[in-house]
Homo-oligomer: A and B are copies of this chain.
Amino acid sequence: MTATGPLPAGEALRALLSPRAIAVLGASDDPVKIGGRPLAFLLRHGYRGRLFPVNPARATVQGLPAFPSLDAIPEAVDLAIVVVPAERVLEALEAAAAKGVRVAIVFSSGFAEVGDAGRREQARMGDLARRTGLRVIGPNCQGFAHLPSRLIATFASPFLDETLHVGPIAMVSQSGAMAGMLYEMAREAGLGFNYWVSTGNEADVQAAEILAEVVEDPDTRVALCYVEDIKDAGRFREALNRAHRRGVPVFILKSGRSAEGRRAASSHTGALAGEDQVYEAAFREWGAIRAADPADLLHLPQAFLRYREAGPRVAILSNSGGLGVLSVDLCVDLGLTPAVFTDETTAGLRAALPGFAPAQNPVDLTAQVLSDPGLLMRVLPLLEADPGVDVIVFQIALFGAATDVGRVAREVATVAGRTTKVVAASCPQRRVVEAFRQAGVLAFDDPTVALRSLACLARTTRLRPRWLARTSGAVAPPSGAPEIFRARASAEDFLSEWESRRLLEPFGLPLVQSALCADPDAAAHAAERLGYPVVVKICSADLPHKSEAGGVALGVTDAAAVAAACRRIRRRVAERAPGAAVEGFLVQRQAAGALELALGVTADPVFGPVVLVGAGGILVEALRDFRLLLPPVDGAAAEEALRALRIGPLWDGVRGGAPLDLAAAADLVMRLGEAARVLTGLVAEIDLNPVLVGPRGEGVVVLDALVRLVHAEGAH
């Protein structure tokens, strides 16, 4: 066989997933050393492809014939594992590319995580990959494992264990140690892996690309990711889209939520993550489920391992009244609905339960269940039959030694096996959890974890259609620079308000009625046409902050006052900003509304344009009451963001007043999202502040609009 040319990215990665021949560059004879482990693991766990240790100092390595160099290997090699010192990595990769290797995994550290010199070296690695088509995983990674095929191409410590824990989880992590930790935690919880991948610094291959491949494997039931940054938002989104189409939920643990954490992440894998809130928006809208910590990353998926969907209405069954009450609290906290039973169910419960147990949700089996083993199977079918119940959760405080746990588990399994509802149990006692799992019942070792996971399943069930619908909305390139960009000889950073309006007008934003006037007389005429009171403002690209420059007069009520206001503004601006190029005076109808919003667009280096939806007004702005959205913004997302603000209750009316025009506000947010999308790469910032919202049917109006262009060259 001879070397093949570069493959399309996906195809090369698929070669990683099932290589026929693997070379280890820098292979050590010591199976415990980092350089010895990959070979030791592949041999011990029974990998069936061909293995070629490369080590110029030895004739054999761990019993296999060794080769002095990669090109001395007489066969084609699909995967090269690189365990040489940092300064020799590039040379090894060149050799691998020359040999026609498709994928190289670089364990070596000493790149972007150590500073600028390392960062440059890593950039050369990326260049090499793009130039040659060799796909590079790492550097500073712990490698890759596909457990069903025994392909353990890693030095990670968990694989020192004799047994491989194979299962439905695909894990992709930028941190190898974190991935190892999760492997150990999963094992303790009785869970196993399909794929286990560490991508390290990501000179070339990104976690998102691996994710896009592993979700295609029918043995993958859930995907878990640990990331410190996302380098290419488009690839990440495409990976999520694939996962949604395959019905594979993606759970993400992202560190760097705090500024301190981001600094630390940058030192760890060289990650340069932006504001966490933009990630939060991307996860929410594109459908990645965010976990709070490593335990959560294993807790949330558990319901998904047994069920594909769930409704929100939960019947709680417990042998502890207290645990039942707590479970109801937790349901409410988690957005689940404690089910309200039908009269038939209630009557049935009354007949089935002892007199002192209330016939309602939560169902308290009381200590009676100890002395009356038939009780459970008189109660469970009632919940099964109730049309208002989607999920049945049996929260077991504990079972004493006298309880026949096997029998209870089999009874619950009988119901779980025949109903379309979700049936789950929890108990802190390991033997009880194991009995339920053996009987085929979804079982948790903690009542809160059970409800968290079920709430996550119910939420995903509700949102998945929306996530799927959004997959079509891939970001399009801007549809040509609008006229405003051509009109300007050189792009200043800020546009004037008038220019900003002209740029945004084609998107149909409800901008307040305005006239641009050359002098005080023209302004007075314009005011007569608009009707009083009016607002008079200076119009200048050099004065983005008009008020501070003395360039605004509010509540002007007749023509003479308008002219006087213009002259006063002109005088003050001449004093405070003598060099400013003035376009004229803007005269606008003064408007009032029940609620102020502040909307905006910023440009994120990774995710591109980001729409900000916030509460406005002096007092409310201090609350930092805002949400971010990624365009394109659909109506559901816009409305949800507006409702999710802390001021959300006001949409239904301020102090018993009329409801506000949420639909009009949502329409404006969608249009702003469209502007942000079309102007991607041209506009650095848009501010619509204030936006006044009127009562339902009376619409919204944008009182001020400010656009900052992408600096200089970028604007043409």
Confirm or deny: A241 has a beta carbon within 8 angstroms of a beta carbon on chain B.
Answer: no
* Contact residues in B for A118 (Cβ distance below 8 Å): 356
Of all chain B residues, the one with the shortest Cβ separation from A595 is B619
One of A11-19, A126-134, A360-368 at the interface: A360-368
Name A323's contact: one of B177, B333, B356, B649 (CB within 8 Å): B177
A293 part of interface (Cβ distance < 8 Å): yes
Shortest CB distance A565–B (Å) = 24
Q: Given A177-B323, A401-B161, A623-B647, are A428 and B184 neighbors across the interface (CB < 8 Å)?
A: yes
CB of A484 within 8 Å of the partner chain: no
- Using a CB-CB cutoff of 8 Å, which residues 80-121 of chain A contact chain B? 109-110, 113-114, 118
- Contact flags A319-358 to B (C-beta < 8 A → 1, else 0): 1111111101111110000100000000000000001101
Question: Are A258 and B184 within 8 A (Cβ)?
Answer: no
Nearest CB on B from A560, distance (A): 25
Q: Which of B158, B360, B370, B446 contacts A400 (CB 8 A)?
A: B158
Q: Are B402 and A325 in contact (CB under 8 A)?
A: no
Choice from B260, B322, B621 contacting A338 with Cβ under 8 Å: B260
Q: Confirm or deny: A269 has a beta carbon within 8 angstroms of a beta carbon on chain B.
A: yes
Copies in the complex: 2
A622 in contact (CB, < 8 A): yes
Q: Known: A446-B295, A621-B655. Contact between A326 and B397, CB under 8 A? A: no
A402 to B155, CA, bound (A): 12
CB-CB under 8 A from A658, the residues of chain B are: none
How far does the Cβ of A148 sit from chain B's closest Cβ, in whole Å? Answer: 23
A535 to chain B, nearest CB (A): 19
Report whether A649 and B622 are in contact in the complex, using a CB–CB cutoff of 8 Å: yes
Bound together, the chains give a CA A399 to CA B184 distance in angstroms of 10
Do B157 and A398 have beta carbons less than 8 Å apart?
yes
Choose the segment among A62-70, A249-257, A456-464, A572-580 that binds chain B (4+ C-beta atoms closer than 8 Å). A249-257
- Cβ contacts under 8 Å, A435 to chain B: none
Give Cα A226 to B258, complex, Å: 34
Do residues A323 and B181 form an inter-chain contact, with CB atoms below 8 A? yes
Q: In the complex, A429→B186 CA distance in Å?
A: 11
What residues of chain B lie closer than 8 Å to A181, measured between beta carbons? 320, 323, 397-398, 428
A203, chain B: closest CB distance, angstroms: 15
Determine if B294 and A326 form an interchain contact, defined as CB atoms under 8 angstroms apart: yes
| A430 on interface, CB distance cutoff 8 Å | yes
Closest B residue to A367 using CB positions: B34
Determine if A490 is an interface residue (Cβ-Cβ < 8 Å). Answer: no
Question: In the complex, given contacts A258-B329, A294-B447, what are 7 additional A-B residue pairs having Cβ atoms less than 8 angstroms apart?
Answer: A110-B355, A157-B370, A178-B320, A184-B398, A258-B333, A264-B321, A646-B646
A selection of 25 A-B contacts at a CB cut-off of 8 Å is A34-B370, A118-B356, A158-B400, A160-B400, A160-B402, A175-B322, A177-B319, A177-B320, A178-B323, A180-B397, A183-B398, A184-B429, A255-B328, A264-B321, A264-B325, A264-B362, A267-B360, A268-B321, A269-B321, A293-B448, A294-B448, A595-B619, A621-B655, A622-B654, A646-B646
Residues of A within 8 A of B (CB): 32-34, 109-110, 113-114, 118, 140, 157-158, 160-161, 173-175, 177-178, 180-181, 183-185, 188, 226, 228, 253, 255-258, 260-261, 264-265, 267-269, 292-295, 319-326, 328-333, 338, 355-356, 358, 360-362, 364, 366-367, 370-371, 397-403, 428-430, 446-448, 595, 617-624, 646-647, 649-650, 654-655
